[in-house]
Amino acid sequence: MHLLEMIIRTFLFLIGLVLKPLLKIIFNVIYGGSNSEKVSKIRQPLCLHSATRLAKMIRNKEVKAVDVMQAYIDRAKEINPIVNAIIAERYNEALKEAQKVDDILDRKEGQGKYSAVNAPFLGVPFSVKEAFGVKGMPHASGLVIRKNVIAEEDAEVVKRLKEAGAIPFIITNVSELCMWYESANRLYGRTKNAYNTGRIVGGSSGGEGCVISAGASIMGIGSDIGGSIRMPAFFNGIFGHRPSKELSDSCKTSFLKYLNEFITGLVPNEGQYPIADGTDADLLSTGPMCRYSEDLLPLLKVYAGAKSSEANLDQQVDVRKLKFYYMEDDGGSMLVSNVDQELKDAQIKAVEYLKNNLGVCVEKVNIHQLKFSVQIWSAKMLAGGGTSFCEYMADKKGKVNAFKEFAKWIVGQSNHTIPAIGLGMAENFNGMSDQQTQMFMQMGDKLDEEFQSILGNDGVFLYPSHPKIAPYHNEPIFYPFNFAYTGIFNALGYPVTQVPLGLSKDGLPLGMQVVSTMNNDRLTIAVACELERYKGWTEPDSSL
């Protein structure tokens, strides 16, 4: 260890010794105890089936699509005053569209016409993160100056899900411009965790995580550039999958600026705001969030469309034949919190389950570059231009002066959140020299090689989804780099599924990531399905 590193570590350790317990006390006073509540138990039986099962029941006319929609609307209305996750609804239109599905199925020409292949989600409601366009619905991405922006068309994945028969019914909250892991903004306020309203839902797809966990939506659309699907899926105890995203050459150590349309990926990103358009575009991927693991693969197939075959999504997976590896933490990054002991214990128990039930070997590995996850992610994210965050803050009409905005914020006169202002200010400093950027990019390439040699095309890697169980509101400001546990896999382009693992002793969700190499999405999903047999989503229940 370098002397400098040792000094910094000692310093941080001493600060941590004093500051951390103090912060814990302060946050507990503000957001803990009697100020927090839970949403009530789900009273609508239709809200307790998977999307796949609901679609089958609707197709077979065992239930009416309109009754399913009504159940979800009732539940959404019940929980939203407590969690503030839904920022717009289209209940009347959705009910009419559900009625149309029932009518078609009642008519002779509709009978036998629909199957799990041509309409896998016929009549099933879905929610969408506000960053995605849904025709006629708000599309502000939590930015005050975009408050009147209405989407003129559907984002590509919304289109695909509609073509699969599903019906959008609610739009959910995000962090300002989707660049923070707490979903709060000056336009729609703060979203609260259904398991404990003093806690965050994560971000940026935080509204999605919340409504799905609370039984107010069965499936949704998220996007993930540093963990925006997996962090909220983790904090809310549901499944979330970040699909494979092949890195272009320019994200592998050269610095070419290029256009978004040249970028490949299993699932298209088109139709979201903001859309990454520099090297950061390589890190962004769109994917499914859901409560039941059996919906992951059919959803991913719909989102990926014709590209499903590229990733062999139809190929059967025998989980007993996979190689399993795990790490309990990143090896001790100075910038990231230590992993909570309860999360480590949950991971070890899941490892034991896999060993005992599949008879597989689960080997502990030590991949030392993971310690530099923040730096590797940052190097890849910032290397290649594109629209700056301050330009996005001004809705691309000029540029926000983040320092001026900070001064306004201090006197309560800013339309921006402090994480967005902080990110805007940070953008003005060149955090890394070109040389350092190059060095961490190369380290990323090495990490990729190492993972490929360990995992090959038949291995999965188990890793914490986040170092901390759902923090209190505003607490993430003190831990800005904790997204590194998810972000590192964006920098590698790998597919990852966040898997819920029951609840902590305080009744908050536990979970972990299942990671594989490029286009092996089906492996991480197959392991997620296996782990659900051990522990999956657990209902929030205020009577406990």
Ligand X SMILES: *[C@@H]1O[C@H](CO)[C@@H](O)[C@H](O)[C@H]1NC(C)=O
Q: Tell me the catalytic residues.
A: 129, 204, 228
**Residue 201 in tokens:** 């839902």
Q: Directed axis angle between helix 434-455 and helix 484-492, to 10°? A: 80
Q: How far apart (Å, rounded) are the C-alpha atoms in residues 97 and 82? A: 28
Contacting residue, 20, 107, 111, 189, with ligand X by CB under 6 A:
189
Query: Distances in Å between the alpha carbon of 299 and those of 242, 293, 322?
Result: 12, 10, 23
Nearer to ligand X, 189 or 431 (CB): 189
Contacting residue, 34, 316, 413, 435, with ligand X by CB under 6 A:
413
Minimum CB–partner distance for residue 177 and ligand X (Å): 15
CB 72 within 8 A of CB 125: yes
Minimum CB–partner distance for residue 207 and ligand X (Å): 10
Minimum CB–partner distance for residue 172 and ligand X (Å): 10
Residues facing 241 on adjacent strands: 497
Decide if residue 132 touches ligand X (CB under 6 A): no
Q: How far apart (Å, rounded) are the C-alpha atoms in residues 517 and 244? A: 8
Of 231, 251, 258, nearest in space to 242 by CA: 231
Q: Give the CB-nearest residue to ligand X.
A: 189
Minimum CB–partner distance for residue 413 and ligand X (Å): 5
Specify burial of residue 544 (Cβ count, 10 A radius: 0-12, 13-18, 19+).
exposed
CB 465 within 8 A of CB 513: yes
Minimum CB–partner distance for residue 147 and ligand X (Å): 6
Minimum CB–partner distance for residue 84 and ligand X (Å): 5
Q: How far apart (Å, rounded) are the C-alpha atoms in residues 503 and 506? A: 8
Alpha carbons within 13 angstroms on the beta-carbon side of residue 496 total 33
Nearer to ligand X, 144 or 150 (CB): 144
CB 243 within 8 A of CB 265: yes
Percentages of the chain per state (helix, strand, coil), in multiples of 5 = 45, 15, 40
Nearer to ligand X, 46 or 83 (CB): 83
Decide if residue 415 touches ligand X (CB under 6 A): yes
Of 381, 432, 392, nearest in space to 279 by CA: 381
Nearer to ligand X, 171 or 229 (CB): 171
Nearer to ligand X, 323 or 408 (CB): 408
CB 223 within 8 A of CB 272: yes
Minimum CB–partner distance for residue 400 and ligand X (Å): 10
**Which residues within the stretch 46-85 sit at the binding site for ligand X (CB under 6 A)?**
84
Radius of gyration, CA atoms only, the chain: 22
- In sequence order, the 6+-apart residues with CB closer than 8 A to the CB of 45 are 71
**Which residues within the stretch 259-318 sit at the binding site for ligand X (CB under 6 A)?**
none
Residue with tokens 């002793």: 505
Nearer to ligand X, 85 or 300 (CB): 85
Decide if residue 87 touches ligand X (CB under 6 A): yes
Contacting residue, 121, 188, 325, 372, with ligand X by CB under 6 A:
188
Residues facing 461 on adjacent strands: 325, 515
CB 493 within 8 A of CB 244: yes
Name the one range near ligand X by CB under 6 A: 52-60, 156-164, 407-415, 426-434: 407-415
Minimum CB–partner distance for residue 204 and ligand X (Å): 16
Decide if residue 193 touches ligand X (CB under 6 A): no
Please report which helix (H) or strand (E) contains residue 88, including its range. Answer: strand 86-89
Query: Distances in Å between the alpha carbon of 235 and those of 73, 174, 207, 465, 502?
Result: 23, 14, 11, 9, 11
Nearer to ligand X, 189 or 332 (CB): 189
Name the one range near ligand X by CB under 6 A: 38-46, 302-310, 408-416, 515-523: 408-416
Decide if residue 148 touches ligand X (CB under 6 A): no
Query: Distances in Å between the alpha carbon of 343 and those of 206, 235, 257, 473, 509?
Result: 20, 12, 40, 20, 10
Minimum CB–partner distance for residue 149 and ligand X (Å): 12
- Judged by CB under 6 A, the number of residues near ligand X is 8
Nearer to ligand X, 188 or 326 (CB): 188
Reported residue count of the chain is 544
Nearer to ligand X, 200 or 469 (CB): 200
Decide if residue 144 touches ligand X (CB under 6 A): yes
Alpha helices in 196-323 (DSSP H): 206-213, 230-235, 296-304
Nearer to ligand X, 168 or 444 (CB): 168
Minimum CB–partner distance for residue 54 and ligand X (Å): 27
Of 162, 157, 158, 164, nearest in space to 117 by CA: 164
Contact residues toward ligand X (CB under 6 A) are 84, 87, 144, 188-189, 408, 413, 415
